[in-house]
Amino acid sequence: MELDLHCTRCRLSERRIQVVPPSGDMRSQVVFVGEGPGEKEDQMGAPFIGRAGKMLDRLLREEGLERDRIMITNTVKCRPPENRRPLPEEMCACFPYLEQELASRRLIVAMGRTASENLLGRGVKVGMEANTFASIEILGQQKEVLLTYHPSACLYNLKAREGLRASIRLVRERFF
């Protein structure tokens, strides 16, 4: 299902400014998946451009991986009110879009609890499972998922920052 920039599949559409599509290299074998757009992302129409995005950019740069070589997206494409976690029905409504985005990728980097739980269909404790791999099925194909911290957790938590840094290093070493 191609992303509908006028989507009304869930209630998130009622308060958003715009649908936030993926960015980066749409042909990349690697996709980084976050939770959902924040205020800046909703205003500008691109994922990870606010404070968390700046942290992600910094860590990517420090680890020698250019942002324009990967694809970046979110589990939901519209900003949840007050930046709350997306509700299960909202993630479910967006999942067909996410499936299409993930279909041709070799590695999915699930950033944070929300993205990890949405993709794996189970509870995840990121602090215990960071930098581990899981396997999921997307449109009949097995995909490898690397669980890691969300960049927003890295703003104030050194353990999270070093965990995401290690994930980026793994991605660079295996795919670039």
> What residue spans define the domains of the chain?
11-175
pTM summary value? 0.97
| Residue pair 76/36 in contact by the 8 Å Cβ criterion | yes
Give the mean model confidence (pLDDT) for residues 21-39. Answer: 97
pLDDT in tens, 44-83: 999 999 999 999 999 999 999 999 999 999 999 999 999 8
* Helix residue ranges, H only, 10-87: 39-44, 51-62
CATH for 11-175, among 3.40.605.10, 3.40.50.170, 3.40.50.620, 3.40.470.10?
3.40.470.10
pLDDT in tens, 100-159: 999 999 999 999 999 999 999 999 999 999 999 999 999 999 999 999 999 999 999 999
Give long-range contacts, CB 8 A cutoff, 24+ apart: 122-131: 126/150, 126/153, 126/163, 127/159, 130/163, 130/166, 130/167, 131/163, 131/166, 131/167, 131/170
d(CA 170, CA 148): 11
List Cα–Cα distances, 20 to 76, 97, 148, 171, in angstroms.
9, 12, 22, 24
User: Is residue 21 scored above 90 in pLDDT?
Assistant: yes
Please give the structure tokens belonging to residue 81.
């009110």
Neighbouring CB atoms inside 10 A of 10's CB total 18
Task: For residue 74, give the 3-state DSSP assignment.
Answer: strand
Task: State phi, psi for 26 to the nearest 5 degrees.
Answer: -70, -10
Of 116, 104, 107, the C-alpha closest to 34 is 116
